[in-house]
Amino acid sequence: MRCPKCHKDEDKVIDSRISRDGVAIRRRRECLPCGHRFTTYETIEPADLVVIKRNGSREPFDRDKLLRGLAKACEKRPVSREQIERVIDDIETVLFSKFRNEVKSVEVGNLVVERLQSLDEVAYVRFASVYRQFKDINQFMNEVKVLLDRQNRDERKS
């Protein structure tokens, strides 16, 4: 592994642990030349899954792209990186078990929206506004109204 600080590839593993519900191995490493410590994750490389976008184009499923979108939606919200990683792990599990080679981007978006709704309502509305391509403030307000109605129903049940 190349050190992020000095870029040498001489290191030793200090600690290894199973993480992300058993789908990854977390390794703490120490660079031998400079002593910098860093963390790496080892995961199984999933089978190729192609995402079919709205315009019909196809692109390989990209976990990092999903991470960037979720991180942007959760920016300045009380959502940790670990919570986002768990959401992505869950989405990947569903995608790779339910779809063989191809999945429509709408399916991926729906999975994200479902998980964000219970994770953080503001992040949910942010993501939904881009994903559902809100054209005006009325669509935005309708989405917020749905959230408020759901919250009121939940409070009455309690």
Return the pLDDT at 47.
Answer: 66
pLDDT at 155: 77
Q: For 44-61, what is each residue's pLDDT tens digit?
A: 766 689 999 999 999 999
pTM of the model: 0.65
**Per-residue buried b or exposed e for 15-42, using 16+ beta carbons within 10 Å of the residue's own CB:** eeeebeeeebeebebebeeeeeeeeeee
Domain spans of the chain? 1-44, 46-157
Residues of the chain with pLDDT under 70: 20-21, 45-47, 158
